[in-house]
Amino acid sequence: MIIKNAKIVVENKIIENGWLEIENKFIKSINEGKTNLEGIDLEGNWLLPGFIDCHVHGGYGYDFENGTISAFENFSKNVSKEGITSYVQASVTNSKENNIKYLKEFSTFIENQNSGSKCLGIHMEGPFISKEKKGAHEVSLLTNPDIAYLKELVKASKDNVRIVTYAADLQDGSFTKYLLENNILPSVGHTNMSFAQCERDYQIGFRHVTHLFNGMSGVSQYEPGLATFSLYKDDILCEVITDGIHIEKDTLKLIYKIKGADNICIITDAMNAKGLDDGEYKLGNLEVIKKGMKVFLKESGVLAGAGATYDFNVRVMLEANPEIKMTDLIKMTSINIAKQLKIFDKRGSIEKNKFADLVVLNKNLEVLKTFVEGERVYEK
Ligand SMILES: [Zn+2]
């Protein structure tokens, strides 16, 4: 297959007018200039590596807690509208019994998935988080990080747990070590830990933080916490919900200035009402209201997961930081997280012999087409 007349964003370079050759799911060649070969004409629109969302609970009426293969499949088909070509699906805090049930179904889905966006595994966000920073997680089900418990979950998932969000202050460092030794990404978050407490696990090796600023001890001159630590350390990759709701645009400017394009990964943290009409929905057992891109608890008005799409978050990030070059944008949407998840040899950039995971955007950065492993899975 040929994709031509594209403005191609490769790592560190823009090819103003070029074409791609795709064969058996992979990028066979990347070429400058025009071609007379038959192919899909992008008419000068952008061609970027597909977006990778490492923290998304669901959308379009589906989420991890539906716990069925058909729900997982439907989500994977729908999410490609946002330019997402691969994602790590996040859980919320559940009982052990329910988690094991959902993970078993999920592992069957993962093993057999053959259409839509590619699910890379599961992001366990809870139950190993703190009561003080629980967000919209159910407090009675929270527990300290526990290796034996985690092992049961990993086993039920058939080794498909890729990321675990946890409160690092509620363990002695052994949990962090266990994650690293077992090729699971430790993501510190939903914790009230102090700056000083972060250092031990940083020395052990954590380099990833769950939704910077949200669900963590913040930036205070008196009580520096995880947010301060994450901004201070150059090599911590921060998940950022760039919807302008969870983080105001002016704060997005500050984050970009401090962390730069190399240490941010844009996420949605979206829940099941994403992509649906405004109205009342459920997040686990909690009643929530979706209004525009915002989702909040009916009772208290507290934000409860997110309702924005990935492409929306990309546009907001660029509105807040218009100086961002497209070669830097793709670091935050694809490259950084692919490296972090150790899949950069196969995905995350437009490069020869990588999977043809691609998104086509118009000049307003709206998604026109999405390709996963060379197959067109979405067309506007
Ligand atoms: Zn989340």
CATH architecture label of 51-347: Alpha-Beta Barrel (3.20)
pLDDT mean over 346-356: 98
Residue 189 Cα, ligand 1 centroid: separation in angstroms?
10
**Residue 215: enclosing H or E segment and its boundaries?**
none
In the reported structure, the alpha carbon of residue 67 is separated from the centroid of ligand 1 by a whole-number distance in angstroms of 17
How high is the pLDDT of residue 137?
75
Mutual orientation of helices 69-78 and 96-112 as an angle, nearest 10°?
A: 60
Residue 303 has what pLDDT? Answer: 86
Q: Rounded to the nearest whole angstrom, what is the distance from the C-alpha of residue 114 to the centroid of ligand 1?
A: 25
What's the CA gap between 206 and 223, in Å, rounded? 21
- Say which DSSP state 335 is in: I
**Among 141-145, 200-204, 336-340, 366-370, the least confident range:** 141-145
Cα–Cα dist 339/377, whole Å: 24
Q: Is the pLDDT of residue 285 over 80?
A: no
Residue 156: name the closest of 114, 98, 74 by CA: 98
- Quote the ligand 1 centre to 219 CA distance (angstroms): 21
Q: Report which DSSP code applies to 16.
A: E
Mean per-residue pLDDT, 250-256? 98
Lowest-pLDDT range of 109-118, 145-154, 201-210, 277-286:
277-286
Can you tell me whether residue 115 is helix, strand or coil? Answer: coil
Residues annotated as part of the active site: 269
Q: Say if residue 125 carries a ligand binding annotation.
A: yes
Residue 190 assigned ligand-binding role: yes
Buried-state track 173-199, b at ≥16 Cβ within 10 A, e below 16: eebbbbbeeeebbbbbbbbbbbbebbe
**57 annotated to bind ligand:** no
Q: Compute the average pLDDT of residues 132-156.
A: 90
- The reported pLDDT for the residue numbered 132 is 83
